[in-house]
Structure 1
Amino acid sequence: MATRATKSGFAAEAQDKINSKYDAEFAASVMAWVDMRLKRGGQPGINTNGSMENVFETLGDGFILATLMNILGENIKNVKREKMAFKKMELISQFLAACERYGLPKTELFQTVDLYEKQNLNQVVQCIAALGRKAHTKDGLGFGPKESERQSREWTDEQLKAGQNIIGLQMGSNKGASQAGQNFGKARMIVD
């Protein structure tokens, strides 16, 4: 992890607000899912403690995340524990790219510095939870609620035209209503 100066003022308040959203119990359940997937993939297990320190120490170099994506079927090449900072950040970036290929929208992802510099571990945990939800649709061994599946409907032109003649209940009734005889204000006179 790169060493940064201690935050103060508004930056410290913003960081405290970000850190206050972190839920250690939820993080522990996400880490337990990662542990289960790693063991099923023939890898050694990890510490499933949900504390910020453990999540950072376990996932901070990107090795576990890249290994997880290889187990889920995304091919990340040259996955090994690295010592150099840019190699660790590159591995985290490859994990994020693999998440996009797996089907996660960009809004569910985190920034590389969120994990590597311990800026927003809550977003990291949310991203892994979203990956678990997506895994339900791929192989059934997911985490959390299963994502809903798209149900597209096909309507014929006849059905669409039939719906144009129906007045919804939200609009009230048109029985006996007309605009005949309405006259508001003075009529527009072109010549006085």
Structure 2
Amino acid sequence: MSYRVRGMGMDRELQQKTDQKYSIDDENEIVEWIVSVLMWDQGKENIEDCDVELPKTEGKEGFQDWLKTGKVLCQLMNVLSPGSCKAQETAHIKLEAMKCSKERNNICLFLKAAESYGVGKVDSFQTIDLYESRDLAQVQVTMYKLGSAAQKKNFPGPVIGVKVAEKNVRRFDDKLKKEGQNIIGLQMGTNQVASQRGMTPYGLGRQMVTKIEK
């Protein structure tokens, strides 16, 4: 599905900037990862022996067309988290409105499953970003975050992205907390150096002198 920039002026400029964020290199890496995961799940080493759908063309349109039905995304999610994404087949549906509805629903199922798997909402794309090619760069971000979540969960198959660091939660007992209350922070000030004492006229400079006892 080709996407024609909507609007004029500022809207057009914003869309063009969004399009510029899209990376062909990231596209190739993401496609390779998804295909590798599906091949790994089927126990195959040659793509010819696998039941895996490949993009028909390279580039934004091919990437969007490959993922927009939600079928591939749900297949991927079901490998990472078995049974988490029950996609509906849409190829046989002739009524375009119904087909679109089912495809959008498949994408929503994937996004919910990805969030449950560990992808944050702030990192997730919206259905319209993929289905109407509004922000395919954000789709790429989500896929990398999904790969990072897979690493964190020690997924044994192919991975992508940077592994998410574990939280280092520090816990202090009540005794240590009470001891901390007796420490005076520097932000609270001190009476040993400069102060405003003795400043009667407005704007009088403070005397930066420390009194030394003899």
Partner of 2:33: 33
Distance 2:20 2:126 in 1: 19
Query: Does 2:84 correspond to 1:75?
Result: yes
Q: Is the contact between residue 55 and residue 66 of structure 2 (CA under 8 Å) also seen in structure 1?
A: yes
Distance 1:77 1:86 in 2: 15
Structure 1 pair 88/116, CA: closer, same or farther in 2 (3 Å)? same
Structure 1 pair 87/118, CA: closer, same or farther in 2 (3 Å)? same
CA-to-aligned-CA distance 1:49-74 (integer Å, 9 cap, x gap): 76212211211211100111111115
47, 52, 59: which is aligned to 1:51?
59
Give 1:20's aligned amino acid. Q
Q: Is the contact between residue 36 and residue 45 of structure 1 (CA under 8 Å) also seen in structure 2?
A: no
Give 1:32's aligned amino acid. E
Structure 1 pair 184/6, CA: closer, same or farther in 2 (3 Å)? closer
Q: Is the contact between residue 38 and residue 45 of structure 1 (CA under 8 Å) also seen in structure 2?
A: no
- The secondary structure found in structure 2 opposite 1:154 is coil
Residue identity (%): 29
Runs of 5+ unmatched residues, structure 1: 187-192
> Deviation of residue 110 (structure 1)?
0.9
Which TM-score applies when normalising by structure 2?
0.72
Q: Is the contact between residue 66 and residue 95 of structure 1 (CA under 8 Å) also seen in structure 2?
A: yes
Give 1:92's aligned amino acid. I
> Deviation of residue 8 (structure 1)?
4.3
Give 1:111's aligned amino acid. Q
120, 131, 148: which is aligned to 1:116?
131
- 5 Å-filtered alignment, 1:25-174, equals 25-42=25-42, 43-44=51-52, 46-47=54-55, 51-73=59-81, 74-82=83-91, 83=93, 84-140=99-155, 141=157, 142-165=159-182
Structure 1 pair 81/37, CA: closer, same or farther in 2 (3 Å)? farther
Q: Is the contact between residue 115 and residue 121 of structure 1 (CA under 8 Å) also seen in structure 2?
A: yes
> Deviation of residue 185 (structure 1)?
1.9
Q: Is the contact between residue 55 and residue 65 of structure 2 (CA under 8 Å) also seen in structure 1?
A: no
Computed over aligned residues only, the root mean square deviation of the Cα atoms, in angstroms, reads 3.0
Runs of 5+ unmatched residues, structure 2: 43-50, 94-98, 202-214
Which TM-score applies when normalising by structure 1?
0.80
Distance 1:48 1:139 in 2: 32
CA-to-aligned-CA distance 1:122-161 (integer Å, 9 cap, x gap): 0111111110000001133431211000121221233234
